[in-house]
Amino acid sequence: MADRIQLLPDNIANQIAAGEVIQRPASAVKELLENAVDAGATEIKLLVNDAGKALIQVIDNGVGMSETDARMCFERHATSKIQNINDLFHIRTMGFRGEALASIAAVAQVEMRTKRDQDEAGTCIEIENSVVVKQSPVAMVTGTSIAMKNLFFNVPARRNFLKSNPVELRHIVDEFIRVALAFPHIFFSLTNNGQQLFHLDAGSLKQRITQILGSGYAAKVVPVKEETDYLNIHGFIGKPETAKKTRGDQYFFVNNRFIKSPYLNHAVMSAYQDMIPADSFPMYVLFIDLDPAQVDVNVHPTKQEIKFEDEKIVYAFVQAAVKHALAQFSITPSLEFDLDASIQGLDAVQKPFTDDNKAAAQSSSIFQAFTEANQAHRIEPSNSSSSNSSFRSLGSYIRPQEDDLFEQPTIATASFPSFPAPTETPTSFVSLAAQHGLFSAPEEVKLTQLFNTYVMVPNADHFLLVHQQAAHERVLYERLLQALDQQSLPTQQSLFPATIDVTPTDAVILQELLPYFQKMGYSIEPFGKTTFVIQGTPADMESGNEKIVIERILEQYKHFSSELKLSNREKLLRSVAWQQAVKPGKILTQVEMQALVSDLFNCSMPNAAPNGRPTYTTFRRDQIDKLF
């Protein structure tokens, strides 16, 4: 019987290794960018076509390679970073795997051009399926350009598993941002299909943060800097008011390498305790520098998960550093400008404050308003009865603000009039409820709102408690679902179209979702790289809040993207329903409550919100009797 065990050919072994290293175009982007950084480049350009499926090219002005090194770098286990086993535990460079380029060459058609400063000509190498098909001298400037074309051309099964172009481009943008944040002193650019998405000039870390995460953070970040014998921490954290519903703007770097660490994230979150809502996430870009011997970075193929020798010490340092920064921000806010010396020469500063000046100041109405009863809040009494009555009537419109935990107190979205006034009798919803076995007879009932959050629907032997937000989410979800599947919702064209600027990452998401928005009644058009014009909104939505609504829908969409494995269509449906639903804290009239309950029981699945949580619960009289 013949022997059955054989050695794999090199090209197949490389393809198997590539399965670990190169999972999608973004994986190759990460490896190529890290190699460019290690080459000492001050300018790095990333060009992609067809979201990296057709082309990924990285051009740098680093040190370049000799002809021999250019050939060797595509061999398996070839690296310039490791000479002996001890070097593996003192890694300070980015790329050190030794099989990244070999893996890329196994699953793509690669062309590399490279030249050192001391060489007269550079080297051009073309590789296909791990085989060098061409090598020749080439005229070029110092540096390296590596282009990989037709990813997974020889592994069609892997190529079929790639997602849509917008999804793959988002992953590429994520990897690009992580490297660009870690090295703000290097110029980076990203061009997709000939359109430049990022142009990041070299500068400070704060400048790089605002370039990538948005100018809104410019005045809303707090520096973090703590130095100890064991480790150093530096970076920036967002002020509490910048906390969002998604955890997207959170970056940890250990020795300049991006990592994912729920443990350290918990350290930051605990420092923000009681400062932000429980379901919100602060922004942070934090760098931890410590002895490489204290950390193992090679525990995962992507090197994004690492192990610390003493996690508890690192946790304590991170938590203390963030707490210290927040305390400094809240106690001693700094001024961003210097006092003009010429102010010291003004008359008001130079002249003495005489008794006459003092008497004149104390007799003024402004001074008295701040010293009499109620100080600045004092209102002069008026003899006019009409003014008193108007003040009382104004007070009748005052409503309690919504709880901060439930967001959007300022937005009058499609809450009401998205509940149309019921055309049937007020008891129509009871008839509907009877069909679901909730009521024995369609008797007329009066609804009650509890805690500005729940609607109580009484009956003879039990009552329902309807959660107003969950119920409205279900109503809106089914209405939007019908719009996507059948007839689009009507659009109300804006008299003055609003312009919205988003981050490059959000621009990719929004571009992908435009067809769905169109069917939901939103008319949004691209206007440049990261700018969109909102030409129209759903007919029942109050104008003036379009920008905030779209921004919050995107935030909620990204929240679903990070937590749930849903289709883009489903995530957007849930996001819009959540955004437009009436929130806890909103006072409802009797007509609005009846319309809500009626619409709820007209739904195909009235008992659950889109996310699965119940829309109502039933309390039977015998259950309540037992409590007493």
Q: What is the DSSP string of 324-387?
A: HHHHHHHHSPPPSSPPPGGGGGSHHHHS---HHHHHHHHTSHHHHHTTSTTGGG-----S-HHH
Q: How far apart are CA 471 and CA 602, in angstroms?
A: 11
* 10-200: CATH, from 3.30.565.10, 3.30.470.20, 3.30.200.20, 3.50.50.60: 3.30.565.10
Domains of the chain, by residue range, sit at 10-200, 205-331, 428-618
Contact 94, 256 (CB under 8 A): yes
Above 90 in pLDDT, residue 126?
yes
Mean pLDDT of 7-15: 73
Element (H, E) at 127: strand 122-128
Query: What integer pLDDT is reported at residue 89 of this predicted model?
Result: 55
Q: Is the pLDDT of residue 544 over 80?
A: no
What pLDDT, on a 0 to 100 scale, did the predictor assign at position 439? Answer: 52
The model's pLDDT over 557-605, given as tens digits with 9 standing for 90+, comes to: 877 766 556 777 888 888 888 888 998 989 999 889 988 998 998 898 8
What per-residue confidence (pLDDT) applies to 308? 78
How far is it, in rounded angstroms, from Cα 604 to Cα 37? 56
In this structure, which topology does domain 205-331 adopt according to CATH? Ribosomal Protein S5; domain 2 (3.30.230)
3-state helix, strand, coil in the chain (%, to 5): 40, 20, 40
Q: CA-to-CA distance for 492 and 238, rounded, in angstroms?
A: 37
Question: Between these two residues, 242 and 445, which has the higher pLDDT value?
Answer: 242
| HSE value, Cβ hemisphere, 13 Å, CA-based, for 208 | 22
| Rounded-to-integer distance, Cα 494 and Cα 533, Å | 10
Rounded to 10 deg, the angle between the 262-271 and 311-331 helix axes is 30
**Of 593, 227, 277, 505, which is closest to residue 407 (Cα–Cα)?**
277
**Torsion over CA of 305, 308, 312 and 317, rounded to 10 degrees?**
-90
Write down the pLDDT at residue 62. Answer: 93
Compute the distance between CA of residue 619 and CA of residue 465 in angstroms, rounded to an integer: 8
CA distances from 124 to 26, 91, 114, 127, 139 (A): 24, 30, 7, 10, 9
Task: Classify 148 as helix, strand or coil.
Answer: strand
What SS3 class is residue 133? strand
CA-based nearest residue to 15, from 151, 106, 100? 106
Helix (H, G, I), strand (E, B) or coil at 624: helix
Which superfamily does 428-618 belong to? MutL, C-terminal domain, regulatory subdomain (3.30.1370.100)
With contact defined as beta carbons under 8 Å apart, do 49 and 43 qualify? Answer: no
Predicted pLDDT of residue 33 = 94
Rounded distance, CA 73 to CA 76, Å? 8
Q: What digits encode the pLDDT tens for the residues 607-616?
A: 899 888 899 9
CA dist 588 and 594 (Å) reads: 10
Residue 622 · residue 463 · CB < 8 Å: no
Instruction: Tell me which of 275 and 138 has the higher pLDDT.
Output: 138
Q: What is the mean pLDDT of the chain?
A: 78
Retrieve residue 506's tokens.
């959000």
Instruction: Please tell me the pTM assigned to this model.
Output: 0.67
For residue 130, pLDDT over 60 is answered with: yes
pLDDT in the model for residue 449: 92
